[in-house]
Copies of this chain bind each other. A is one copy, B any other.
């Protein structure tokens, strides 16, 4: 069992520089930035870039995974606040709002992921996010007005269709139109 030798310090440093540069470049010039440009921005040679990420798809996938990690962090924080007594339904709505805003800031990353068909998700971060969201959802269904049939998939469905590339008023309006569908009252049967 060849224990994976601990990565060299500079290799770690390079990986970080590359990810940061990729994120920046993609946000700046859209997907379709050349690998050369990303490499240059990371102050690294293309070869090095390819040693860390064998494919452009892989690199973009990693950038996306990072974003997911941040979403997971956010969801976990919300869940902890709920455990400490915060209103679950309010946390759910606030979480959605923040995530939509975040994906607006990083919108090109999303586009990039789609454009390149980057495989959906890096398991570790994904799992964390999913766990925290599930807890949050259950809490809001118990103590609040979140409709009982709502699932984590529904969150993803909505978040992945948020108008991240539209002006902030559009995003606000979208929240107004969309959030009611998550509540019991909003979806109450016709009288």
- Please report A residues at the B interface, Cβ cutoff 8 Å: 111, 114-115, 154, 157-158, 160-163, 165-166, 170, 173-174, 176-182, 185-188
Contact A154–B180 (Cβ < 8 Å): no
Specify which chain B residues have a CB less than 8 angstroms from the CB of A182 in the assembled complex.
Answer: 177
Of the candidates B154, B177, B187, which one forms a contact with A157 in the assembled complex, judged by CB atoms under 8 Å apart? Answer: B177
Specify which chain B residues have a CB less than 8 angstroms from the CB of A154 in the assembled complex.
Answer: 173, 177
Given known A-B contacts A161-B162, A163-B161, A188-B185, A177 and B177 have beta carbons under 8 A apart? no
Given known A-B contacts A157-B163, A162-B161, A180 and B170 have beta carbons under 8 A apart? no
Contact B174–A157 (Cβ < 8 Å): yes
Counting every copy of the chain, the complex holds: 4
Specify which chain B residues have a CB less than 8 angstroms from the CB of A178 in the assembled complex.
Answer: 177-178, 181
Of the candidates B111, B114, B161, which one forms a contact with A161 in the assembled complex, judged by CB atoms under 8 Å apart? Answer: B161
CB pairs A–B below 8 angstroms (7 shown): A115-B115, A154-B177, A157-B173, A158-B177, A178-B178, A179-B181, A186-B186
**Distance between A179 CB and nearest chain B CB, rounded to angstroms:** 7
A185 and B114 CA atoms in complex are apart in Å by 35
Given known A-B contacts A160-B163, A163-B157, A163-B160, A180 and B186 have beta carbons under 8 A apart? yes
**Distance between A88 CB and nearest chain B CB, rounded to angstroms:** 15
Specify which chain B residues have a CB less than 8 angstroms from the CB of A186 in the assembled complex.
Answer: 180-181, 186-187
A178 and B157 CA atoms in complex are apart in Å by 11
Q: Apart from A160-B163, A177-B178, A177-B181, what are 17 other A-B pairs with CB-CB below 8 Å?
A: A111-B114, A115-B115, A154-B173, A157-B163, A157-B166, A157-B177, A158-B177, A161-B161, A161-B163, A161-B174, A176-B181, A176-B187, A178-B178, A178-B181, A180-B180, A180-B181, A186-B187
